[in-house]
Structure 1
Amino acid sequence: MKSKLWLVFAIITTVFWGVWGAFTGLPTENGFPETLVYCVWALTMIPPAIIALKLVNWKLNQDKKSILYGCLIGLLGAGGQMVLFHAVTEGPSYLIFPIISLSPMVTIVLSYTFLKERTGILGTIGIILALLALPLFDYSDGSETTDYGYLWFILAVIVLLAWGLQAYFMKFANESMNAESIFFYMTVTGLALIPIALYMTDFSESINYGADGPLLAAGIQILNSIGALCLVYAFRYGKAMVVSPMTNAGAPLITAVISMIVLGFVPGTFKIIGIVLAVLAAFFLAFDPGDSEIQDEGKSK
């Protein structure tokens, strides 16, 4: 049962992030800036962090190594989000998000090289299908002809690297510190970047402070925060090269399904292909037995 805990937490992350992805844009559409949505998200990290620490009797890893890893993971995640805010003002989102969605490749390469992680045949097929599916969810035919320059591309690559590195260090840190401490430091660093988000906010514009603004954002972003906590646990019990592609492929799948059923969104051909590939990828990743002996041998070296 313990060997499948990674799957339980990965599924929770996938479902919560899938629902979050379907509705996360609503507050912004209602006139609540994305930078302030970030602030709300950072605040919603606090309740899960408190619950996590309470589960381990408030035993927080406070050695220098744990603080370093925890803050690094938090800064990579929250910092990547901040860079993303600027990227979408510089270039087309239909190109930015497919680039960012390839971040699991960074995690897989690092995990294979440094953590000696291996997976079975089904897992390998699942990873390949997941990586093929990711960019298809946000694929566009690129009919726009506006020249956006190169800054948006550089920023998108920075976010890709940041989130890929975050997933790797999250798995690596789980070897020496508890997941609850990792999430605590993620919360602290997320909160620390709130002043930057406030600075980036144009308060001269009309801002919706009603229930369909910050309150709606809080209800949606708490799904993101709980999913992030479960992701930390998924990396504790599972392989980064499996968990990362699964969550990154499965969440967009759920987002697409909700959009079709609830929001009346009908995806194009490439997105439908992405959905099919993601379903197959999730199946193969979930039922792959893995190669625990090789993994354990790599850990012992």
Structure 2
Amino acid sequence: METTTTMDDGAARPGALRKSGWLGYALATTLLWGVWGAFAGLPAQYGFPETLIYVVWALTMVPPALFVLARAGWRVRRDARAVAYGLAIGLLGAGGQMILFYAVKAGPTYLIFPLISLSPVITIALSFAFLRERTGALGTAGIVLAVCALPLFDYAPGQAAQSYGLWFVLALGVLAAWGLQAYFIKLANASMDAESIFFYMTASALLFIPVALAMTDFSQPINYGPSGPWLAAATQVLNAIGALTLVHAFRHGKAMVVSPLVNAGAPLLTTVIAVALAGTLPGGAKLAGIALSLAAALLLALQPDDGAAAPSTDSRS
């Protein structure tokens, strides 16, 4: 039995990773999700329903899952705790996406997406309270700026006032689901390997395929050409690989730092790419979001690393 333990006291120890470990994975996720975000909406614009895009995304999770499992010797944790954590992570992520489908049908996207973008607040609060995660002055300032920047990327001023109805409750459900998912990814990393976590994420995504198919209106014209499912696959594989690197980022870094960094950095890159392709400057809200995200990313990256975020134990026989 080999056991590797990482403590949160900041002292040098065997197996402790430097900042470059979590930061590299977090930046990889930011890059993958930023590029994905810039092109993810194209298949829907070309007539391929978002529910079927979900099906394609779930299927694109399979190749990276098989890759990491093969490298790990096809070992998957099957004890009760691992199954519970794995399914909680997967079901919260996929379930949140299902709820989002209903939310955008019931309410305005210009209010829904800024609201659910605040999911890192849930992750930060839970990590602070239950994982005893802490950061320094630079990290705290970076977290605050990142959280302030998140809603600005999707904020659309000047829209008509909306009453708070079912869409608001559904949006809060998505916010809670994705905030909890990030927390559970960090929590699960303390007792199971990243490969097993991603396996359960993939399995849960696949379980929701029948739900997505049932929600699809097949009576409407559907684009099954290259600009439909194939373009969706090309973009969604970036999403899938980004989910894998995110698991590793949470494994080696603090959830209260990784979550706002990724969730602010990815929309920042998406906006930059969209602006470059459109050749026009974004509005004031997006410019403010860009400025705050850049400042947040710099502060979070400069915050001295005081060791691993939380106790982490990985035992394999």
Tell me whether 1:105 sits opposite 2:121 in the alignment.
Answer: yes
Match of 1:246 in 2: 261
Q: Does 1:134 align with 2:150?
A: yes
Where 1:60 maps in the other structure, the secondary structure is coil
Q: How does 1:210-229 map to 2 (within 5 A)?
A: 210-229=225-244
Query: Contact (CA 8 Å) 1:118, 1:291: kept in 2 or not?
Result: no
- Report SS of the residue matched to 1:71: helix
The aligned residue for residue 292 of structure 1 is: 307
Q: Does 1:94 align with 2:126?
A: no
CA–CA separation in structure 2 for the residues paired with 1:16 and 1:152: 29
1:1-301 matches, within 5 Å, as 2-3=17-18, 4-145=20-161, 147=162, 149-264=164-279, 266-292=281-307, 295=309
How far has the Cα of 1:269 moved from its partner?
A: 0.3
Deviates more, 1:259-268 or 1:132-141: 259-268
Deviations along 1:29-78, whole A, 9 cap, x unmatched? Answer: 00000000000000000001011111211111111110110011000001
**Alignment check: 8 A CA contact 2:191 2:312 kept:** no
Shift of 1:263: 3.5
Q: Distance in 2 between matches of 1:74 and 1:106?
A: 17
Structure 1: how far apart are the matches of 2:287 and 2:164? 30
Query: Offset of 1:159 from its aligned partner?
Result: 0.2
**Post-superposition shift, 1:262?**
1.6
What amino acid is the match of 1:156? A
Number of matched residues? 297
Cα shift at 1:96: 0.2
Decide which structure has greater helix share: 1
Distance 1:246 1:47 in 2: 26
CA shift, 1:286, in A, is: 1.1
* Structure 1: stretches of 5+ with no match in the other structure: none
TM-score, scaled to structure 2: 0.91
Q: CA deviation at 1:299?
A: 7.1
Deviation at 1:265, TM superposition (A): 5.1
* C-alpha deviation, 1:148, in angstroms: 5.5
Shift of residue 139, structure 1, vs aligned partner: 1.1
Counterpart of 2:278 in 1: which secondary structure?
A: coil
Q: Is the 8 A contact 1:116 1:299 kept in 2?
A: no
The DSSP-based 3-state class of the residue aligned with 1:87 is helix
**TM-score computed with the length of structure 1 as normaliser:** 0.95
- For residue 190 of structure 2, give the secondary structure of its aligned residue in structure 1: coil
Q: Provide the C-alpha distance between the structure 2 equivalents of 1:56 and 1:221, rounded to a whole number of angstroms.
A: 24
Identity of aligned residues (%): 60
Distance 2:131 2:218 in 1: 46
Cα RMSD (Å) of the superposition? Answer: 1.5
**Superposition deviation, residue 266 in structure 1:** 3.2
- Amino acid in structure 2 at the alignment position of 1:240: A
Mapped to 2, the partners of 1:183 and 1:46 lie a distance apart of 10
Q: Is the 8 A contact 2:17 2:307 kept in 1?
A: no
Whole-angstrom distance in 1 between the partners of 2:279 and 2:201: 35
Give the aligned residue type for 1:155: L
Provide the rounded CA distance (Å) in 2 between the counterparts of 1:190 and 1:180. 15
Asked if 1 retains the 8 angstrom alpha-carbon contact of 2:36 and 2:236, the reply is: yes
The alpha-carbon deviation at position 248 of structure 1 amounts to 0.2
State the Cα deviation string for residues 201-231 of structure 1 (Å, max 9, x = none).
0000000000000000000000000000000
- What is the CA–CA distance in structure 1 between the aligned matches of 2:298 and 2:24, rounded to whole Å? 14
Residue pair 2:189, 2:312 contacting (<8 A) in 1 also = no
